[in-house]
Amino acid sequence: MKHIETDALVVRTIPYSEADIVATFITETSGKLAALVRGGRKSTRRFGGGLEPFHTMRLRIDEGSGDLVTLKEARVVCVRVGITASLAALEAGGTALRWLRHLVQPRHPEPAAWATTVALLDALDRGLSEPRVELAGAALRLLSDVGYGLDLERCVVCGKPCPDEKPASVDGARGGLVCHACGGARQVLGPRARRAALEAQRGGGVAFTRDEAEEILTLVTAAMAAHGGIEPK
């Protein structure tokens, strides 16, 4: 039997029996894992006060031959109670964890996506900026982290570059810019929003206005639906 120790975020829990639950974790080193938590519905003391979202947990897991691993121990190593103080932060963090659950594949590590999500949760916990703005920047990076990055510089159909000073038609489901010659798209990003999106996508600072963040989130939601099967809430 293989033993795993890794940091993790819990992204879903469902009842399994009168006493047990099945928890889905995104782990730093082993991708997405579904773990049987024996007694999880009756005892929180065994698992560091409960399996709560947003906090980083250190897991000890026994990996057998089936689809489910067995959680032996879990303890919180990074508490983010600041997120729970803001409804906007709660919604942004919950959205990010839902995206992560769909984008990360079972037992396939995604270290960049892990790092992006942890950085977002830390920012939401500090509460120093607008949660939707932070979420928009993280969303662009998450797509890139798992190989679905949006092309915001050239047409995804013909490859023609878009000048920096021009607005651009964008289609998240198609992967980015679509020039007018190739049919265009309903959504248009202005030059400033597109430059800010490119900077955020490359891991730079997030410099969106609130309105620009909402435009980016509309674009990202379409991409998430196309690539991750994630329907908007």
Same domain as 224, residue 194: yes
What's the CA gap between 213 and 164, in Å, rounded?
Answer: 19
Residues linked to residue 11 through DSSP beta bridges, in sequence order: none
pLDDT higher than 60, residue 45: no
Domain boundary residue, one of 79, 104, 122: 79
The helix (H) or strand (E) run that includes residue 23 is strand 21-27
Tell me, what CATH number does 29's domain have?
A: 2.40.50.140
Same domain as 34, residue 140: no
Same domain as 200, residue 87: yes
Give the contacts of 68 (CB within 8 A, at least 6 positions apart): 22, 34, 35, 36
pLDDT higher than 90, residue 77: yes
Q: What is the amino acid identity at position 54? A: F
Helix, strand, coil percentages for the chain (3-state, nearest 5): 40, 25, 35
Same domain as 109, residue 86: yes
CB–CB of 49/90 below 8 Å?
Answer: no
What pLDDT digit, counting tens, does each position of 141-175 carry? 999 999 999 999 999 999 999 999 999 999 999 99
Same domain as 194, residue 111: yes
- The per-residue pLDDT of the chain, averaged, comes to 91
Domain boundary residue, one of 44, 79, 114: 79
pLDDT band at 95 (very low <50, low <70, confident <90, very high): very high
Same domain as 202, residue 168: yes
What letter does residue 55 receive in the DSSP assignment?
Answer: S
Tell me, what CATH number does 127's domain have?
A: 1.20.1440.120
- pTM > 0.85: yes
Domain boundary residue, one of 54, 79, 104: 79
* Residue 233: inside a domain: no
pLDDT higher than 90, residue 48: no
Domain limits for position 73: 2-79
* Residue 132: inside a domain: yes
Same domain as 27, residue 16: yes
* Residue 6: inside a domain: yes
| Per-residue confidence (pLDDT) for residue 232, from 0 to 100 | 62
Same domain as 74, residue 45: yes
Same domain as 70, residue 131: no
Across the range 16-21, mean pLDDT stands at 80
Same domain as 195, residue 136: yes
| Per-residue confidence (pLDDT) for residue 41, from 0 to 100 | 60
Cβ–Cβ contacts within 10 Å for residue 229, how many?
9
What's the domain count of the chain?
2
